[in-house]
Amino acid sequence: MVAVSVLEIAVTTYGTLCWGSVPLYASLFLGGFAIVLNCMNYQCIAHSFIHHPFFAVPWLNRAFSVVSSLALQAPQTLYRVHHLDHHRYNNDRPDPETGLTGDGSSTYRYSRREGREENLLSYALIGPLRVDYKYLWARSRKHGDAVLTCVEATALCAYFVLLAIFNWRGLLWFFVPVWYLGQAFALAHNYAEHHGAQPDNRLCDSVSCYGRLYNLFWFNEGYHQEHHYRPQVHWTRLPELRGLMLPETRRRVVPFAHWVNFVGVGGCCTVETKVTQKRIV
- Cβ burial of 43 (10 Å; 0-12, 13-18, 19+) is buried
DSSP string, 127-188: GGG---HHHHHHHHHHTT-HHHHHHHHHHHHHHHHHHHHHHHHHIIIIIHHHHHHHHHHHHH
pLDDT for 262 equals 78
- The answer to whether 15 touches 171, Cβ cutoff 8 Å, is no
Give the model's pLDDT for residue 150. 98
CB 93 within 8 A of CB 113: no
pLDDT at 115: 87
Distance CA(255)–CA(30), nearest Å, equals 29
Reading the chain (281 residues) residue by residue, the pLDDT tens digits are: 999 999 999 999 999 999 999 999 999 999 999 999 999 999 999 999 999 999 999 999 999 999 999 999 999 999 999 999 999 999 999 999 999 999 999 999 999 998 899 999 999 999 999 999 999 999 999 999 999 999 999 999 999 999 999 999 999 999 999 999 999 999 999 999 999 999 999 999 999 999 999 999 999 999 999 999 999 999 999 999 999 999 999 999 999 999 999 775 555 555 443 433 333 33
Q: Which residues share a beta bridge with 208? A: 253
The residues, any chain, with a CB within 8 Å of residue 268's CB and separated by 6 or more, are 196, 251, 252
Distance from C-alpha of 233 to C-alpha of 240, rounded to nearest angstrom: 10
253, β-bridge pairs: 208
C-beta separation of 204 from 274 below 8 A = no
Rounded Cα distance between 1 and 52, Å, is: 12
pLDDT attached to residue 41: 98
Q: Could you give the C-alpha distances from 103 to 83, 91, 164, 237, in angstroms and in order?
A: 9, 6, 35, 26
Could you tell me the residue ranges of all domains in the chain?
Answer: 2-194, 212-280
Segment (H or E) for 202: none
